[in-house]
Structure 1
Amino acid sequence: MTVAVLLGVAAGLVFAHRLYRTAEISLSGAILSVISSYGVDVIPDRQTVYFGLGSDTPLGLRMTPECTSAFLVLPLIVVGAVMIALRPRIQSRVLFALGVAALAVVIVNQFRVLTLVGLVQWLGVDTGYYWGHTLLGSMVSVFGGAAALVAFVWLATRK
């Protein structure tokens, strides 16, 4: 039963990733509204958060399929389902590990978006977006995703 639910959630992430991206960019907008002195507006239908409104350099960030954490969470869910199918007695450990790792991936992705926003505000739109999206944003995603994977394996397999 748990394996079927996990595989259903995995399929849901694939087929309803737009809804997931909408929730993810709405979370980014809410965080930016709290920490930023610039105007922030989220357009959920476009999966876009606009920030810097009222300044000389407003910018909109769109949560595209390749920028979402959904496809980093997806393999964790599938691996978790396989682990439970092969060894049902470790189900509680795997589900706990999956929850921790999925939360970590979402937090890392939010940190990546906020890093991008910070660099744009600090270095300007062209330079800040370039460094925030291509270099630093990628590093945050790679290291954060790797840390989430290590945490998942460690938590799921420890006794």
Structure 2
Amino acid sequence: MSAPDAAGGPAGTGVPAGGGPAGTGDLLAVPLVEAPGDGTPSDVLQARLLDELVEAASPDVGLVRPVLGAGTAAVVLSMFVMASDVRHAEAGLSAVLARTLGLHDVYRAGYAVMFSVEGVRTGYEITLGCTVAFLLVPFFAATSVLLTIRRVPVQRALSSLACAVGLIVTFNQLRLVAIALSMDHFGPALGYSLSHVLLGTLISTTGVVLAGTAFLAVLLRGTFTRAGAHHG
């Protein structure tokens, strides 16, 4: 182990013994192990030190974390209370995308997206079973818990949530676009049946799996690297 320097921290770290990063008020204890031969810290541990410094400087003091935790919990409740508003927003966005892709006479009517296929007025409705509102609930709930128990830096928790939300919303809109294009190509009845039951389910499942994977990947970023560094 490196000997403490005059400031009291580990040699060469630039971390004073009197406290960690500005505003934390705590000593940032980051053990360094010298690499064999040259007496300098290994690349892995240097990266670990930098990661610890960045995480320690996160907004983790005062009311920041409780407010964010309460905010994400409130979003979970709003998904149930305001599900109709989410469905309206989804229908509006879907109508814009369908119009952009060239469908005729597209407009939103409540929770439905209406358009014309060979002169026949048709469309699809975003029901409670199809909305993203309930797909997002687990991610917001998990983030609220993580923020409350203080086990994950704020930026990392919010970044993982943002990735998951972005993927869920994107893939759900892709599913709706696929349904619209299928109805336009194969006709309303056959097109809806094929796209909603087969293609739509595949797209939705892919989106949920990717969202969950991205959520965990961002959340656990650097965890295994740091765990390996403890063993040299």
- TM-score normalised by L of structure 2: 0.64
Structure with higher RCO (Cα < 8 A, 6+ apart): 1
Cα RMSD between the aligned structures?
1.3
Quote the residue 1:41 is aligned against: 107
> Secondary structure of 1:58's match?
strand
Indicate whether 1:4 and 2:67 are aligned.
no
> What is the letter of the counterpart of residue 180 of structure 2?
V
> What is the letter of the counterpart of residue 143 of structure 2?
G
Quote the residue 1:92 is aligned against: 155
Q: 2:84 aligns with which of 5, 18, 22?
A: 18
> Secondary structure of 1:66's match?
coil
Unaligned runs of 5+ in 2: 1-66, 223-232
1:37, CA displacement in angstroms?
A: 4.0
Cα separation, 1, equivalents of 2:152 and 2:210: 25
1:87, CA displacement in angstroms?
A: 2.6
Aligned length: 156
Quote the residue 2:21 is aligned against: none
- In 2, are the aligned partners of 1:90 and 1:156 still within 8 Å (CA)? no
Cα separation, 1, equivalents of 2:170 and 2:163: 11
> Secondary structure of 2:119's match?
coil
Unaligned runs of 5+ in 1: none
- Post-superposition, which runs of at least 4 consecutive aligned residues in structure 1 deviate over 2 A? 55-58, 86-89
Quote the residue 2:51 is aligned against: none
Quote the residue 2:221 is aligned against: 158
Alignment of 1:1-159 (within 5 A): 1-43=67-109, 46-52=110-116, 55-159=118-222
- Structure number with larger C-alpha Rg: 2
1:120, CA displacement in angstroms?
A: 0.9
> What is the letter of the counterpart of residue 87 of structure 2?
R
1:86, CA displacement in angstroms?
A: 2.2
- TM-score normalised by L of structure 1: 0.92
- The 1:120–1:37 alpha-carbon spacing in structure 2 relative to 1, beyond 3 Å, is closer
Identity in percent: 26
More helix by share: 1
- In 2, are the aligned partners of 1:20 and 1:70 still within 8 Å (CA)? yes
> What is the letter of the counterpart of residue 147 of structure 2?
I
- The 1:10–1:83 alpha-carbon spacing in structure 2 relative to 1, beyond 3 Å, is same
Give the stretch that moved more between structures: 145-154 or 78-87: 78-87
- In 2, are the aligned partners of 1:32 and 1:40 still within 8 Å (CA)? yes
Cα separation, 2, equivalents of 1:60 and 1:116: 9
